[in-house]
Amino acid sequence: MKALTSVIILAAITVIIFIFCTFTVDQRKQALVLEFGEAKRVANPWGKEADAGLKFKKPWEKIVTLDRRNLEIDLKPVELLASDQEPMLVDAFVRYRIVDATKFYEALRDEVGAQHKLQSIMDSTLRDVLGRVNTKEIISGRRAELMNEIQLVTNATANAPENDFGVEIIDVRIKRADLPKANAERVFARMVTERNQRAAQIRAEGEKKSREIRATAEKTAAITRAEAKEKSLKIKGLADAERNKIFAEAFNLDPEFFAFYRSMEAYKKALTTGTTYVLSPNSDFLSYMDNQKGRR
Amino acid sequence: MPNNNSPWDTGGGKGGKDSGGRGTGGRGNSPWGSSGSGKGGKKPNRNRPTNDLDNVIRDFKGKFGSPKKGDGGLGGGRLPLIIGAAIILALIMSSIFTVDQQEEAVVLRFGEYQRTVGAGLNFKLPYPIEQIIIEKTREIKKIDIGGNVKESEMLTGDENIVEIDFSVLWRINNLQEYLFDVKDPDTAVRAVAESAMREVIGNHALEGIITKERLSVTTDVKKLMQETLNEYKTGVQVVEVQLQKAYVPPSVIASFRDVVNAAQDAETAVNKATEHANKIIPEAEGTALKLIQEAEGYRGKEVAEARGQAERFKLVYKEYKAAPRVTRQRMYLETMEQVYEHADKMVLDGKSSGVVPYLSLDELKRKGAK
């Protein structure tokens, strides 16, 4: 019986030692070992090869677990003035890592503390850096460059002697850089007027083109008609010339007879019904009226 | 004997089988029962089991009951056995795990990474020594961003505002990084996607974003996201970025549509003008053709007429040449005859000055009217 009791006691002691003298560190964590509140060492710290697993400690040592991974802080949107006095709403996020667990614990205690401190640092950093450039550069021109600068400034601030957070700012990224509501309305108004202008211009250009087409067509039509007129007159002229030539050729055979012949033709046509003639008995026509032998 | 009783026998035999079984059970000393042989030999067997059945039941009860009675005696040895078995079972259960085809699992020993295992049945040291984390590494995950003003509206490079809704398809391509290097990688993917999209949109003009640069926007976002996520070591691969919506905000849509309408209007105006042109030019050409044809007609007619008259004159002249005097006289008289035939005429002697001729113009006119 005595042997059994001692075995049980031994087992109990082993279990107790095991419980109080060991701890485990997760691959994703680093553990700060505190002895009566004083930081003694860090298990599985950042910067060294991963060393997670089962660890030993003195029974009175306390363990504080901190993350070893790349962490995010989603900042609250900051309203700031760009250098062109344009207000902007900037929503950014920060990625950081605890590189010195002791300093981090000392200065910030935990991730919530880090969130508070970094939020206020970021507020002023964003204002400083983005306040020096204009809206255009924030939105497009130098966004990547500016984010880089903000990261460097934040990193420097976080590790300055007065802060010494024991963190590394991996990246600062602007999620949103927008105009506040009132300014957005102004942009909408401008977009509308720009489009209206554009529409008017397009319509005017269409109208211009249409008129040009009409005018050109009218001109072409007029020219076509005029040219045809010219050509037709020429043809008629040629016709008259030819006619004259034909007549001249024929009538030149005997101009005197032509005069007589043509006169006869003309009388026949011109002097017809409805005309009253006063004839002289001396006329050739009546030469036999009084004299059967004629006057001659 | 048995043959005499054969009807009974058979009847009893049947009865014994069917309904008589219980009845005969009481009469163990039935004459048929004892005399029965051969076929009847089965009957006693039928009867006996009923006796036996009671015994069996009793026996069974006894046996069944006995462990209960003997519980106190045997219990001291069995309970730890059961507990031990349960513990062993639990250990085995916590040492075996299955991984689906879509998944991969990492094994942690006291929190320290040990190994990554694939699909199938796998083993590990029991809890709490080893633990596993299973993730769906083959599954393509989707994040939708947008759908509300705050997330959708973005400033473009030319300082306009565009509404963008988009989806990101991604999957885990390095499980170790995904689990151990970044906290909450899913949120990281989302934040990076938003940031990348806005950066890319900020580098494009509105016109391009809503028209022909959509594809380049998505490829740029994908590239930028991947770079950033690699930098963070998220172990995430961006499979695709899809633009669901890329258009101007509702309050300016009307004016944008009006630009499209304006283009239509302009085209309509041009079309109408062209239509007009296509009408009047052929008309003018037709008129021109007509004029020229007319002229040609005139020419043909005049020339032909002239030729005809010339020819006629030549013929008459030829005749005249042959007998000039007579022909001339004849022509003159014929003409005058024709002229005076239907006309009013009056012959006055110019020499007789005594008569003053009176010519009534009114009368002449009246006659002329007739």
pLDDT tens per residue across span A95-124 = 999 999 999 998 888 889 999 999 999 999
Pairing of strands B130-135, B141-145: unpaired
Mutate to test the interface with B, among A278, A284, A287, A290 (most CBs of B within 10 A): A278
Which DSSP helix (H) or strand (E) runs through A189? helix A181-251
Q: Sort out which chain B residues have CB atoms less than 8 A from A184's CB and list them.
A: 153, 161
CA dist A240 → A234, A245, A248, B310 (Å) = 10, 8, 12, 14
pLDDT, tens only, A54-71: 888 888 889 999 999 999
Cα A160 to chain centroid, rounded:
43
Shortest distance between the Cα of B92 and any Cα of chain A, in A, equals 22
Contact (Cβ atoms closer than 8 angstroms) between residue A242 and residue B295:
no
Model confidence at B51, pLDDT cuts 50, 70, 90, reads low
pLDDT-based confidence at B93, cuts 50/70/90? confident
Is the predicted pLDDT of residue B230 greater than 90, yes or no? yes
pLDDT for residue B239:
95
Complex-level ipTM: 0.74
Residue B6 pLDDT greater than 50, yes or no: no
Is B228 in Cβ contact with A178 (below 8 Å)?
A: no
- pLDDT over threshold 80, residue B155: yes
Find chain B residues with C-beta within 8 A of A69's C-beta. 180-183
CB contact under 8 A, B252 and A203: no
- Residues 6 or more apart whose Cβ sits within 8 Å of residue B292: A228, A231, A232, A235
Is the pLDDT score of B24 beyond 80? no
Q: How confident is the model at residue B43 (pLDDT cuts 50, 70, 90)?
A: very low
Nearest-CA residue of chain B relative to A200? B262
Kindly determine whether residue B155 and residue A177, on different chains, have CB atoms separated by under 8 Å.
yes
User: Closest chain B residue to A88 measured between Cα atoms?
Assistant: B155
Q: Kindly indicate the confidence band of residue B42, based on its pLDDT and cuts at 50, 70 and 90.
A: very low
Residues of chain B contacting residue A233, judged by C-beta atoms under 8 Å apart: 295
Residue B54 pLDDT? 57
Taking an 8 Å cut-off on Cβ atoms, the answer to whether B191 and A175 are in contact is yes
Other CB atoms closer than 10 Å to residue B70's CB: what's the count? 10
d(CA A99, nearest CA chain B) in Å: 13
Q: Which residue has the higher pLDDT, A95 or A48?
A: A95
Which tens digits make up the pLDDT trace of B347-365?
Answer: 766 665 555 666 666 666 6
Question: Between A and B, how many CB-CB pairs are < 8 A?
Answer: 326
pLDDT greater than 60 at residue B324: yes
Which phi and psi (to 5°) does residue A178 adopt? -120, 170
Q: Mean pLDDT lowest for which of A272-276, B299-303, B321-325, B348-352?
A: B348-352
Please tell me the predicted confidence (pLDDT) of residue B286: 92
Interchain CB distance below 8 Å, A224 and B284? yes
The alpha carbon of residue B356 is apart from the nearest alpha carbon of chain A, in Å, by 13
